[in-house]
Amino acid sequence: MAGRTITTALLAAASLSGCAYTTGVTGTPAGADPEQLLPTEWHAIATRDDRVRLAGWRSGFNEALGDAAAAGFASEIAAHGDLLQPDAALGDPRPPAGFYRCRFIKLGAQDRGLLSYIEYPWFRCRIEDRGATLRLTKLTGSQRPTGTIYPDNRLRMVFLGVLELGDETRAHVYGRDANRDMIGQLERIGDDRWRIVFPRPRFESLTDVMELVPAE
């Protein structure tokens, strides 16, 4: 139900925007040409709204956890250990290139009637080494983040990208449609275990957490 809700809302927004697709804009982390040269400093690309979202990631994470726990999902949160602990980041956050298993957990509900905790099954992702940056693509599933991961500090990298839906094949461009824009911080939380925390997503939840582990 949640997947249909977000898909319907986003497709409606895209139909009204008139600029959901583009054929390559210099300086965007997700464009039609994956080989284009891009800046390596995320501050030069992130929208003002996304910088605000990222700055409040910790308070948003704690609010989302509190909402989910109050709704009866405290045991599910505890079972995930460091994955759902706000301050679990370890040093050296950069993951190696390769294929990964990846899944989303949605925490907190933006509106009444929505679930405060949703755990999705594992899908397939790919990380490509682009030198100073990495490129992340979720390869399967009806909701697929794709974009660039930028260096930031010793505990995190920053993801800037867009959300692709359904059977879309043309790449969206970051910064053209706020409903598709995604910002998150990538952290290493264990041996061969990473997460991306997406603060204040546009629809449904208060915080989304994407877990990544190397594919076997």
**Average pLDDT over every residue of 118-132:** 95
Q: How many CB atoms lie within 10 A of CB 83?
A: 17
Q: What's the CA gap between 48 and 181, in Å, rounded?
A: 12
* Backbone torsions φ then ψ of 9, nearest 5 degrees: -65, -45
CA angle 69, 63, 93 (to 5 degrees): 100
User: What distances in angstroms separate CA 129 from CA 13, 98, 152, 186, one per listed residue?
Assistant: 32, 9, 16, 15
Distance CA 34, CA 170 (A): 12
pLDDT of residue 14: 40
Helix (H) / strand (E) containing 159: strand 157-165
Could you read off the pLDDT of 36-80 as tens digits, one per residue?
455 678 998 999 999 999 999 999 999 999 999 999 999 999 999
pLDDT tens-place string over residues 158-169: 999 998 887 776
Q: How confident is the model at residue 135 (pLDDT cuts 50, 70, 90)?
A: very high
What is the per-residue pLDDT across 32-43, written as a single tens digit (0 to 9) for each?
Answer: 444 545 567 899
Phi, psi angles (nearest 5°) of residue 15: -70, -25
pTM (whole model) above 0.85? no
Whether pLDDT at 25 is above 80: no
What are the Cα distances from residue 76, in Å, to 56, 69, 151, 182, 197? Answer: 24, 9, 31, 25, 17
